[in-house]
Structure 1
Amino acid sequence: MPAPPHTADGALWRGVLPSATDDPIFDAWPADLGTLAPGQIIEKRDVSATTAPRMATPISRATLLKFRSTSATGGPSFGTATLIVPATAWTGAGPRPVEVNALPINSLGSHCTPGFQMSHDLLDRPNTDLPVFLPSVWWALSKGHAVLLPDHEGPLMAYAEPNVAAHVMLDAIRAVRAYSPGEFGDSRYVAIGYSGGAIAAYATAMLLDEYAPDLSGVLIGAAAGGLVTDNANVAHRFNGNISSGILLTVALAIAREHPEMLQYMNHLAQWVATSPIRDICGDASGPLGVVGIPIDVAANTANSLDSPFAAKMFDRLDLTGRTSTVPLYIYHGLHDPWIPLDDAQRMYRQQCSRGVPAVFRVVGGEHLIGYVTGYPELGGWIDARLRGEPAPSEC
């Protein structure tokens, strides 16, 4: 367990963290984390036997990697990620490429991650969200690509915290290159994600230059669909309606990495946040909002989303002032009722204005259907990047 931040009530902060999984690779915080370099491997485990039954195409092996990473505020942390290598041979030029797929985790419990699910039996605390997004993994493997599945919420399960997500994604790439340098040291990598996973893929592109400049030329593109770029706008949209459960889940998750938020939780919020709610997966957080719970019910201050502290937090999570150092592919459902299309388009125009090669696609459907309708063209873009073709720009 990490030490409580100086700004936090230690007992409350520990109380809102996810419960232990009873698997040390996910639970144990090495005492020497601060002496390790980001991406340095701490532990590895062959998880082929539990991963293979979840795949629709034969695999050669699956490996769970644990590695040093960095918290949202710069402290030593760790990450986990699962590397899946297909049985299908890679017949393209150069070494086998890697799709870094940020599956939407959207959860508070550590057992909800791809890493835990892939390394445990099918009936060991299953996350019913995960199978919905596995076809993208199967498709990549069938083409001979290796797939890397980072647990991008980090060990504190800080859902939607972009800094943590980027650090884990980038350190996962570092770890794979260190784990098998002969096989993946010269591979091309592309980061992809949708919805909650889009936050991770987008943040990876935005923080590459400052956090992992050594991966310049290694990560050669990032694709994000159904992406949140304006947290303040989305928070106000979610507040008090059918999406409110997601907003409350995200607020708790981010407070794990930014515990100064805990001082604004009232007694009701503290009771809920330290209850079994702190371990729910994404398939449960959405239904919590059916009754339209406004966030002020959980706060000890009025108009909490419009407070100076909220403005400070929204600014801390905002990456639109940064410039991607890799080509971007952004897509969004035309009728997405949750995440504004205008926000994604605005970010796209900003990146274009800064010289980033980028493509934007408006696809059919709302938020969930947009994932399906957007994938065919996205797949072609990914394949071209991993073949080393120059990235198109429609700016």
Structure 2
Amino acid sequence: MVRTLTRWVVPTAVAALALAIAPVTGTPQSSAAPHQPTTGFFAVPAGVADLKPGTVIRSRRVAVKSLQALPLNADSWQLLYRTTDMNGAPDVTSTTVIVPRGKRPSKLLSYQAATDAVDSTCAPSYQLTKGAPIDLTTPKGPVTLNNPAAEMLLASAGLAKGWAVAIPDHGGSRNTFLTPHQPGYAVLDGVRAAQSFAKSGLSTSSPTALWGYSGGAIASSWAVEEQPTYAPELNIVGAAFGAPERDLAASLKSVNFTPLAGLIPIALGALGKDSSEFTKALNKYLTPAGKAKIKRTLSRCVVENIVENLWFDYRNFLTKPVNVVLRDPVIKKTIAARGVTGRGSTVPLYIYNGITEEVAPITGTDKLVRSYCRAGGRVTYRREQLPPNPIPQISSTHGIELILGGPAALSWLDRRMAGVPVASGCDVKTTPSTFVTAGALRELGPSFIVNPLATMLGVPVGK
């Protein structure tokens, strides 16, 4: 049955996953204020500052779906827990914990989805449990499938291996994006919360792996940098992340006037949400249309924003050349705070990036890896040669690398979970896409594709 499902479903499911990070056509809709839940399950209790980071405040059972359509035959809960914001103040956020039905796993995969937005309806806690992939009635539509729901196809690979999976809302209670430090705290505290939750079957010593791509890679990279001082007790055996945009200036220039250029106004709006000084500085260089466009992104998820901003060109919305804007002291400082810190990682790392990547330029990831290596990290870095992208304005290699780089990342994490050690130092190679290897193909079929469909049909998952 597995072989039959794989043969017929792989092309369809891979296309669906690519859709979540590739633009589609649609009609712009009216804007709305960002939705920020502060009541019910997400309400912040009194005395939260007295709780230790990672403390579970409340829990609820939920039903999780892949692609906002395929129900997982697994046990799942959402946990609200205490964490820390970018300024070191107490905060709360949630994580969705998924366990193979009827199993008590001993290992945990924390999967960081690429939320890439600042509205709460874009967070994994919402995207994994509510909505539908197409909704003609919503002002944000018609395509409402966003990254967290699509990336469940990747996260569920951990379930197929018998691991528990936690998917945190790493934007915190304010649903931030591109914020320094804070997403790392949210990820680490999410691991603490999942391990302390009795129904997960985990313990404080459970081997744990981190995985994320693009926006999820940003959160994962902050987590490994914060872990030595913020959560040294965690047994994180490895972290894999692809296309981490830790050089925002390079990303801004590279992705401009491409199919995914809508990420630019998203990023600028997110930086402004963190810093009123940044907004004030940026407004000096924006046209009225530019200000309106950035404001509009605050109430939309990544796919809706990309649809509305296909082939966005900042030259049409700036009153000065981009290099002048980036030299503004406030803007430069804000971007630098989100860049390479020079700190290392005690966690072994697997990092992958497409050489022709336009969202996370290879030069930025090269810089990040060199920094980790200088700090004494154990890094396996694969600079992957993707299929040619002759016309960047028509196609994107960012989504291609998400799919093609995933199997090797999962295989590397599997070895870390099994206790296979990593040699010291850095292993840096420029290689053809690892998707084409036999081992990667074996990982892709059963783990990424068959598992979600099997759960929809009522077949339990997990070894």
2:303 is the alignment partner of 1:283: yes
In structure 2, the CA distance between the partners of 1:117 and 1:132, relative to structure 1 (3 Å rule), is closer
Q: Secondary structure at the match of 1:66?
A: strand
More deviation in 294-303 or 78-87? 294-303
Instruction: Give the letter for the 1:372 counterpart.
Output: I
Q: Within 5 Å, which residues of 2 pair with 1:115-134?
A: 115-120=125-130, 122=132, 126-134=144-152
Per the TM alignment, residue 50 of structure 1 is displaced from its structure 2 partner at its CA by: 6.4
Q: Within 5 Å, which residues of 2 pair with 1:250-329?
A: 250-266=267-283, 271-272=292-293, 274-275=295-296, 277-294=297-314, 297=317, 303-329=324-350
CA deviations over 1:292-313 (Å, ceiling 9, x no partner): 3427837899832221112211
Distance in 2 between the 1:286 and 1:50 partners? Answer: 23
CA deviations over 1:196-224 (Å, ceiling 9, x no partner): 11101111111112322232xx1121111
CA deviations over 1:66-94 (Å, ceiling 9, x no partner): 1111111222211111000012757xxxx
CA deviations over 1:318-347 (Å, ceiling 9, x no partner): 243111121110011132123211221232
Residue in 1 that maps onto 2:215:
196
Residue in 2 that maps onto 1:144:
162
Distance in 1 between the 2:33 and 2:293 partners? Answer: 12
Instruction: Give the letter for the 2:35 counterpart.
Output: S
Instruction: Give the letter for the 1:177 counterpart.
Output: Q
Q: Secondary structure at the match of 1:116?
A: helix
Instruction: Give the letter for the 1:190 counterpart.
Output: A
In structure 2, the CA distance between the partners of 1:86 and 1:355, relative to structure 1 (3 Å rule), is same
Distance in 2 between the 1:237 and 1:341 partners? Answer: 10
Residue in 2 that maps onto 1:40:
55
Q: Within 5 Å, which residues of 2 pair with 1:90-129?
A: 96-120=106-130, 122=132, 126-129=144-147
More deviation in 166-175 or 235-244? 235-244
Unaligned runs of 5+ in 1: 1-14
Residue in 2 that maps onto 1:29:
44
Distance in 1 between the 2:354 and 2:226 partners? Answer: 25
Q: How many residues align?
A: 372
Per the TM alignment, residue 244 of structure 1 is displaced from its structure 2 partner at its CA by: 4.0
Residue in 1 that maps onto 2:440:
none
2:79 is the alignment partner of 1:65: yes
CA deviations over 1:145-167 (Å, ceiling 9, x no partner): 11100111222221222422111
Distance in 2 between the 1:221 and 1:33 partners? Answer: 31
2:394 is the alignment partner of 1:379: no
Instruction: Give the letter for the 1:82 counterpart.
Output: T
Distance in 2 between the 1:169 and 1:295 partners? Answer: 36
Instruction: Give the letter for the 1:18 counterpart.
Output: P
Which of 367, 383, 389 pairs up with 1:346?
367
Distance in 2 between the 1:41 and 1:208 partners? Answer: 19
Q: Is the CA contact 2:66–2:152 (under 8 Å) kept in the aligned structure 1?
A: no
Residue in 2 that maps onto 1:9:
none
Q: Is the CA contact 1:47–1:118 (under 8 Å) kept in the aligned structure 2?
A: no
Distance in 1 between the 2:404 and 2:125 partners? Answer: 27
Q: Secondary structure at the match of 1:214?
A: coil
Which of 177, 188, 191 pairs up with 1:173?
191
Q: Secondary structure at the match of 2:249?
A: helix
TM-score, normalised by the number of residues in structure 1: 0.84
Instruction: Give the letter for the 1:343 counterpart.
Output: G
Pick 1 or 2: higher relative contact order, CA cutoff 8 A, min separation 6. 2
In structure 2, the CA distance between the partners of 1:362 and 1:55, relative to structure 1 (3 Å rule), is farther
Residue in 2 that maps onto 1:207:
226
Per the TM alignment, residue 97 of structure 1 is displaced from its structure 2 partner at its CA by: 0.6
Per the TM alignment, residue 112 of structure 1 is displaced from its structure 2 partner at its CA by: 1.3
Q: Is the CA contact 2:63–2:71 (under 8 Å) kept in the aligned structure 1?
A: no
Which of 302, 322, 332 pairs up with 2:353?
332
Distance in 2 between the 1:203 and 1:78 partners? Answer: 18
Q: Secondary structure at the match of 1:286?
A: helix
Q: Is the CA contact 2:63–2:72 (under 8 Å) kept in the aligned structure 1?
A: no
Instruction: Give the letter for the 2:121 counterpart.
Output: H
Distance in 1 between the 2:319 and 2:232 partners? Answer: 40
Distance in 2 between the 1:289 and 1:309 partners? Answer: 26
Residue in 2 that maps onto 1:20:
36
Unaligned runs of 5+ in 2: 1-30, 139-143, 387-396, 428-463
Per the TM alignment, residue 31 of structure 1 is displaced from its structure 2 partner at its CA by: 3.7
In structure 2, the CA distance between the partners of 1:19 and 1:265, relative to structure 1 (3 Å rule), is farther
Aligned-residue RMSD, C-alpha? 3.1
Distance in 2 between the 1:222 and 1:128 partners? Answer: 23
Residue in 2 that maps onto 1:248:
265
